[in-house]
Amino acid sequence: MIERYTLPEMGALWSERNKFQKWLDVETAVCEVHAEMGTIPAEAVGQIKARASFTVERIREIEKTTDHDVIAFTTALAESIGEPARFVHYGLTSSDVVDTANALLLRDACDLLIAKTDALLEVLKRRAFEFKDTPQVGRTHGVHAEPTSFGLTFALWYDETRRNRVRLERAKEAVAVGKISGAVGAFAHLDPEVEERVCERLGLKAAPVSTQVIQRDVYAEYLTTLAIVAASIEKFALQVRHWQRTEVREAEERFKKGQKGSSAMPHKRNPILSERLCGMARLLRGYAVVGLENVALWHERDISHSSAERVVLPDASASLDYMLAKAASLIDTLVVYPGRMLANLGATRGLVYSGQLLLALTRAGVSREQAYEWTQRNAMKTWDEGGEFREHLLADPEVAARLTREEVERALSPAAYMRNVGAVFARVFGET
């Protein structure tokens, strides 16, 4: 994780110190269960809990010799515990500790991500209602289509973010799985009851079956979920980048006092945060691919997944944590220009109302095919020759024979396009 994109709480969660602490939590829980089942002396557990300590520096020093981080960890523990340390790691293999501790880390990471998703939802809802009645031109294929509500965009993003929250909850449930089943998952040295009790003590589910490791499809689910959430944020940010284009300028990122946009061009105000979020979404997609590649391991386990997971699990978690926080800030402080939206709405001189005019003609008894032909020929005249769509329509004898000026004026109004926005808001938010 690079410090630039790591927020304090998620950074602390994935620190080396906290990782080893989670390992110790697993080792301690195993010792406690052993004592309850009479496998090791109860007094030994008390001594282990009272004496067990470590430093990251000492573990790293030992690992230079062992070239094995779990053995370095248990050796460091033994130095602090003394004679009762012989009961630490009793019947375990390294992955029993590492994978069960990973479940604790990933579960806690999900909690942080869900909390930030909730904060983003609050911002999206507030801005949706703020701009519910603000007309804006809708675009398809990048071309002006029909009027819409600017607030409807935030309602759409809210609904998508709400789905992402459900996905994160599912991912949390998927990863909160531990295993204490030994070197090939056959419980050769421990009773399955030990696994069940340890996992219950740690607030995890016990894997119904495992090899030496928790099966990596659960990690792939976590990483692909994070990639989906990041893709949504990229979608939001890409839209902001469009709004901030000079030719559009319907909304833009807040430009702070003292902020600089370019070393060469003092006038520049660039959508740098939105561009950053789009770039970071690419990282999350890459991490998801790594998660999928790690699903297939040789036999009961190889170690090809391990090096990759040391990078992608903390980095993906930290990256999305940062993205969620920045996305909420971006939307919360977004500067909006309703006047510019109205100007853009009129940029095509009324063409964006062609669909409503088409319907007005059909209601007047014209066949749809004929109504489309009349509307399109006046639209093409507006595109090619200039002038106002309204005036071309009123000058068209076939249109004028079917519609009054008042009916044309009514059709060429944003009001008709906004009348059901409240109904959509009721669907999304339960209120209008």
pLDDT in tens, 293-304: 999 999 999 999
Mean pLDDT of 32-39: 96
DSSP per residue, 142-191: TEEEEEEEHHHHHHHHHHHHHHHHHHHHHHHHHH-EE----SSSS-SSS-
Return the percentage of the chain with pLDDT > 90, whole number.
94
pLDDT band at 380 (very low <50, low <70, confident <90, very high): very high
* CA pseudo-torsion sign 49, 51, 55, 59: negative
- Would you say residue 86 has pLDDT above 90? yes
Q: Tens digit of pLDDT for each residue in 218-247?
A: 999 999 999 999 999 999 999 999 999 999
For residue 27, give the nearest of 9, 14, 16, 40 by alpha carbon.
40
Mean pLDDT of 24-28: 98
Q: What pLDDT does residue 416 have?
A: 83
Instruction: Please tell me the class of the 351-411 domain.
Output: mainly alpha
Q: CA dihedral defined by 56, 59, 60, 66, rounded to 10 degrees?
A: -170
Mean pLDDT of 37-60: 96
Q: How far is CA 196 from CA 53, 181, 182, 191, 204, in A?
A: 26, 10, 13, 9, 9
Q: What pLDDT does residue 266 have?
A: 84
Q: Which residues are catalytic?
A: 141, 262
pLDDT band at 414 (very low <50, low <70, confident <90, very high): confident
Homologous superfamily (CATH) of 1-90 is Fumarase/aspartase (N-terminal domain) (1.10.275.10)
Which option is the CATH number for 92-342: 3.20.20.100, 3.90.180.10, 1.10.3720.10, 1.20.200.10? 1.20.200.10
- Would you say residue 188 has pLDDT above 80? yes
Domain boundaries, the chain: 1-90, 92-342, 351-411
pTM of the model: 0.95
Count other Cβ atoms within 10 Å, centred on residue 158.
22
Q: What pLDDT does residue 431 have?
A: 85
d(CA 416, CA 418): 6
Q: Compute CA 34 distance to the chain's CA centroid, rounded to the nearest angstrom.
A: 40
If you average pLDDT over every residue of the chain, what do you get? Answer: 96
